[in-house]
Amino acid sequence: MENILENDILEERKKSIFCNSEFKNNLKCESDSVAGSISQRACVYCGARVVLNPITDAFHLVHGPIGCASYTWDIRGSLTSGSDTYRNSFSTDLREENVIFGGEKKLEAAIDEIVERFSPKLIFVYATCIVGVIGDDIEAVCKSAEKKYSIRVIPVLSSGFAGNKSMGYKAACRALLKLMGEPNAEKINGVNFLGDFNLAGEMWIITKYLKQVGIDVVAKVTGDSTYKEIINAPKASLNVVQCAGSMTFLAEEMQKRYGIPYIKVSFFGIEDTKISLMNIANMIENKETSDRVKKLVFIEELKVRAELSRYRERLNGKRAAIYVGGGFKAISLIKQFADLGIKTVMVGTQTGRKDEYDVIRSLASSDTVVLDDTNPAELEKFIKEKGADVLVGGVKERPLAYKLGIAFCDHNHERKHPLCGFEGAVNFAKEIDSTVNSPVWNFV
């Protein structure tokens, strides 16, 4: 690995890539993307949009070129139990003349049209890169619209060439805090679940578990959520944070503003699901709840263990490469692969933090390659070098896996089946088995 870093890796990337056994505690992460660089990260606007998009009755107005709106149209496979308004994307469609003369009047007209045609309760207005350049004051326009129509029109300050998706997460969290408003003395004996976006109905699985053990969910942030739920969120007694990358900032700010403590969890994989349920029960400090959790875990684990054992026999000895958005997901995936007898030979994240990389290092093998904010060339190099049989990633990584002739598992926006909880662990094992052991690889 040392020779590889000396000869084949750009100097500025050497602190973001290391072999686990040679780590020198100088990992470079949590940094902005360089404008124009080739990275697997998405932009600031995209990060904000994917967080706010699943609020089912919200209208999303993109102030920028039409391409920005089309990029995130229905971007997540988030399901709804109510309105499907969130699946649409509205745009001011800024053109050259607006860049020269300003686009505020066009934004005002777009808000007027949405209100006239749809009578919304909530509109999010997103600033894109071009708006940051020309200097349109979307905050003033939104404030004026709120006064004019007596509805919530929330600016999302998500412009930025040199930023990254994690900055977009913060922009979305600031918009949510603006929507929640000032502290309220009223409290409800329940939790907010932060950082699940109801991909393939995963939020429904988690809330089912919580309901079975007697824990009420005040607000889902933001999968299958509503305007009313979000404004009630400050009344909860505990914040449960699944996607740490997107929601830790919100949890910390809600702790300061509303006095709500928070706990980080992960419902990916059997082990993390069990630990998370017990940790939530411990935070609530109710013996009956703890007893119900133990009973639930025992029953659910019993249901899936035999099936998982069958997949373990078929997958034992395989090698996996992981490249996902946040560190919490990478940590859970390493554990899931280990449970299936699969060795993780490469692992990386787009927005992982140093504390998460410390956990990743403790779980990974000594020869595992760890990398932060990588690019396709580096992914290809280490996937081939480490002999991975499967790559777990998102939509941008899929073509790379197939180009290299290896299996792929989508653990991001577009999947159609749930991967969280006990049933999700079986679905994950089934998908890994079906793709790794597909006969198609015999003909590649």
Task: Indicate which CATH number applies to the domain containing 236.
Answer: 3.40.50.1980
- At residue 245 the predicted structure's pLDDT band, cuts being 50, 70 and 90, is confident
Q: Is residue 186 part of a domain?
A: no
**CA-CA distances (angstroms) from residue 441 to 123, 141, 404, 437?**
48, 55, 11, 8
Q: Check pLDDT > 70 for residue 163.
A: no
Angle between helices 421-436 and 327-339 (to 10 degrees): 70
Are both 74 and 163 inside the same structural domain? yes
What residues contact residue 257 under an 8 Å CB cut-off, 6+ apart? Answer: 177, 183, 234
Best CA proximity match to 400, nearest among 412, 414, 383, 417 = 383
Residues linked to residue 62 through DSSP beta bridges, in sequence order:
91, 126
Q: Is residue 173 part of a domain?
A: yes
**Which of 25-34, 84-93, 132-141, 229-238 has the least mean pLDDT?**
25-34
Residues linked to residue 348 through DSSP beta bridges, in sequence order:
323, 371
Q: Give the pLDDT of residue 160.
A: 79
Question: Exposure of 278 by Cβ count < 10 A (0-12 exposed, 13-18 middle, 19+ buried)?
Answer: middle
Judging by DSSP bridges, how do beta strands 369-372 and 17-19 pair with one another?
antiparallel
Q: Give the pLDDT of residue 3.
A: 45
Q: Check pLDDT > 90 for residue 41.
A: no
> What is the residue type of 56?
T
Q: Give the pLDDT of residue 71.
A: 66
Are both 170 and 224 inside the same structural domain? no
Are both 376 and 401 inside the same structural domain? yes
- Omega within 30 of 0 (cis) for the link into 222: yes
Best CA proximity match to 47, nearest among 351, 379, 347 = 351
User: Which pTM was predicted?
Assistant: 0.91
Q: Which two tokens mark 437?
A: 């052991």
Examine the fold and report which residue of 294, 329, 353 is the final residue of a domain before the chain moves on. Answer: 294
Are both 336 and 220 inside the same structural domain? no
The range of the structural domain enclosing residue 352 comes to 6-27+316-413
Q: Is residue 1 part of a domain?
A: no
Q: Is residue 172 part of a domain?
A: yes
